[in-house]
Structure 1
Amino acid sequence: MKAVFSLLLSSTLVSAGASVYKKRVTGEDLDTGHRWHVAGTDLGIPYVLENGSIGFLFGDTFGTQWPDDGIEWRSPVMLRSAVHPGEEDGIIFDSAAGVAGDGLAPEIMHNGHTGSDGAGATEYSVIPNDGISFPETGEQFVSYMSIQDWTAPWKTNYAGLARSTDGNTFTRLDTKWQNNPENTDPFQMWTLQRDGDYVYAFSVRSGRQPGPMMLQRVPWQKIADQSAYEGWGWNGTTWAWGREPSAILEGNFGEPSVRKLSGGTWAMVYLNLDTLSIVSRTAKGPDEVWSDEKVQVTFEEEPNLYGGFIHPWSTSEENDLHIMVSKWTRDDAGRSTAYHVSQYVGTL
């Protein structure tokens, strides 16, 4: 089970961000717990499925609201929704991957659970980074992290891709970006966005560490071909594709989330570990200059917050930004007091 990073509330933090709380979307007392045993969980990364609805990828998930108990531990898990997040009742889930009706939502791919990843590495858990689908072929791909150790800053074995043709079960591929012994490889936590013929992949280090954010792209038909990826690189004079990736941003990044919104604006959201806030940026394109950070949710509003994943039906024309925010708090004895995902609504 992942260790919660220790965050101390600072008087320098702003008290409120641009986003406002709309609702809690997971919990033992909600449909997610009653119907699919998704009670205690985190992340909830939304992406468009091949049929046009939305899949939400959750990380370490349990059958009770308290992860300490370890009951029905699995990851990743996917819930689905066809309801627009801007509706009055917000996000409502209607099904779970791998379940025909109600019942325990299973892992959608192999997870070592302190055993083997199936290819020789010791694996504690598997955590989703992002998902993407291709309606032309009916395929879905999930980017994931193979977790070696949850001790902060947590370490991955590698980042990989898993493929599905039925939307319920995913097969882990040999397409992997290995971490290094120093745990500093900048291609471990990914977010994916297609635009035309290319999928753009933004990535940072594992463990929510300081470091660079990198940008690569790959023809969408070749997403599983590691040799087809090309970097966005700086040679000291100009930026160009086909080079070794250069840092497009430097920071203390949590998991990045990037989506191209209707209207053409590109939006990015992540946890800034220096300010302990969920922040956003915008750009005119994936390889354009990104704006300064805009604070969306602060630590004061959601203690021990993390994540910040953009719902792809957010819009730039109406300037509404729907993001999924995780919270994991503990009492003085180390017992969990909250472990869930909430929907926030903000502006770009």
Structure 2
Amino acid sequence: MTLNRRSFLIRTGTVGAAAAVAPALALSSEANAATWKKRLTGADLDTNGRWQVAGTDLGIPYVLENGSIGYLFGDTFNTPWPEGPPLPNDWRSPVMLRSAVHPGATGGVVFDSAARVAGNGRAPELMHNGHNGIGIDGLWEVTVIPNDGISFPETGRQLISYMSIENWNSAGPAGPHWRSRYAGLAYSDNGNDFVRTPLKWWNNAGNTDPFQMWTMQRDGDWVYVFSVRAGRQDGPMMLRRVRWDRLFYPESYEGWGWNGSNWGWGRPCTPILTGRFGEPSVRRLTDGTWVMSYLNCANGCIVTRTATGPDQVWSGEKVQVTSWQEPGLYGGFVHPWSSRQPNDLHLMVSKWTRTPDGRSTAYHMSQFAGSI
């Protein structure tokens, strides 16, 4: 099995302003704002000994319906990296580990359980995955990659946004990018088994649909959905909202748009930012501050922005983690228990480093602590 993964597809780009788009200010001069705290997955850690979770993609934290935190991993293996050895190496995706430990604790995040496992044992994938074959809907599917998760204490339901991956290296004018076939939603009513719904937000022939990689945050009755193209391409970031109990009704999604004189809801989406974005992550902190993080593919850094609301102007980028600190990084996800206090912005950072001939040297997730 060969996985042409995303981490090496970082190419030159810009994060800049466009007409009626929130301006992208100059990067903060304060580099290395976040510091490494600990590595959270790997073949040498108890994630492998307890659940056979060694090499991992992503590690997206979200609040579960019981108040603890679930961490969503994409392509996961019981070896340190995707190509083994040995092979086969128990390829799974998505996989979830869980923790009730605050990331600001002295020892950092400590996982206490895995979804679909009673105690210790192999952590299976959460939903159907085609694994380089015919998927659940009869279409070719390389793998299923989670975008984000959200839960609803009112009903005990959890939702996962995901991408069905068609291939990892579609050709294009700016070079190869991975191609998603569509974005979808899966749900669980028991916190373990997720069912993929028939809902599909299809990609287009040019691989430029801006609604493929989602991050979701609830605020009151509304869930705000920020999204970008698959493949870390140049393009727009879009914002939509939908009532929390209407997520399964595509006609209920409202776009945030500019009509030439002002912004408003219920319009076709207008880009709120433009650039070459990695996987976005947006969380609302307890004091009401909204924080966004993503890989800026122009400079290879994990950056953050802040705003007073999802539909307000976002600040300029602040560099949190650089490729000099963490070579091969590609995902930086905001922990929902972060705060505005110094060194209490907790980022889950994924990396994949390889030698020039393609042999992996690291494929895991670490915890960083910074400030907004």
Pick the TM interval, shorter chain. over 0.9
* 1:48 Cα deviation after fit: 0.2
| Structure 1 partner of 2:105 | 87
1:135 to 141, 144, 153: 153
Counterpart-to-counterpart distance in 2, 1:25 and 1:54: 14
1:2 offset after TM fit, Å? Answer: 3.6
Q: Does 1:121 align with 2:139?
A: yes
Match of 2:21 in 1: none
User: 1:1-348 residue pairs with structure 2 within 5 A?
Assistant: 1-3=3-5, 4-6=7-9, 16-69=31-84, 70-151=88-169, 152-317=176-341, 320-348=344-372
**Is the CA contact 1:259–1:268 (under 8 Å) kept in the aligned structure 2?**
yes
Contact 2:156-2:189 within 8 A present in 1 as well = yes
CA–CA distance in 2 between the matches of 1:307 and 1:233?
Answer: 28
By how many angstroms is 1:120 displaced?
2.3
Alignment partners' CA distance in 2, 1:322 and 1:111: 30
C-alpha contact (below 8 Å) 1:36/1:102 kept by paired residues: yes
- Of stretches 182-191 and 328-337 in structure 1, the one that deviates more from structure 2 is 328-337
> Quick one: distance in 2 between partners of 1:188 and 1:306?
17
Q: Give the percent of matched residue pairs that are identical in Structure 1 and Structure 2.
A: 64
User: In the aligned structure 2, how far is the partner of 1:186 from the partner of 1:140?
Assistant: 24
Structure 2 unmatched ranges of 5 or more: 13-27, 170-175
3-state secondary structure, aligned to 2:83: helix
Counterpart of 2:111 in structure 1: which amino acid? F
User: 1:317, 1:197 → 2: CA distance?
Assistant: 27
Q: CA deviation at 1:148?
A: 0.3
1:7 and 1:322 mapped to 2: Cα distance? 23
Secondary structure at the aligned position of 1:175 is classed as coil
Conserved? CA contact 1:15–1:298, under 8 Å: no
Q: CA RMSD in A?
A: 1.7
> How big is the shift at 1:298?
0.4
Cα contact 1:16–1:300 (8 A) shared by 2: no
Post-superposition shift, 1:246?
0.7
**Equivalent-residue separation in structure 2 for 1:95 and 1:2 (angstroms):** 30
- Paired with 1:287 and 1:30, the residues of 2 have a C-alpha distance of 41
> How many angstroms does 1:303 deviate by?
0.8
Contact 1:14/1:298 (8 A) holds in 2: no
Q: Which amino acid aligns with 1:213?
A: M
Question: Which stretch shifts more, 218-227 or 196-205?
Answer: 218-227
- Could you say which structure has the greater relative contact order, defined with CA pairs below 8 angstroms and 6 or more residues apart? 2
* Residue pair 2:10, 2:232 contacting (<8 A) in 1 also: no
Q: 1:14 to 1:31 in 2, by over 3 A?
A: farther
Aligned residue-pair number: 346
Normalized against structure 2, the TM-score is what?
0.90
Write the distance in 2 (CA, Å) between the matches of 1:16 and 1:221.
41
Alpha-carbon deviations, 1:259-290, whole Å to 9, x = none?
A: 00011100000000001100000000000000
Which SS does the other structure have where 2:200 is aligned? strand
Q: What are the superposed Cα offsets for residues 275-327 of structure 1, whole Å, 9 maximum, x if unpaired? A: 11000000000000000000000011111101100000001255621001111
Q: CA deviation at 1:7?
A: 5.1
**Inter-partner Cα distance in structure 2 for 1:118 and 1:14:** 48
2:18 corresponds to: none
2:173 aligns to what? none
Unaligned stretches of 5+ in structure 1?
none
Code of the residue aligned with 2:234 in structure 1: it is P
The amino acid across from 2:273 in the alignment is L
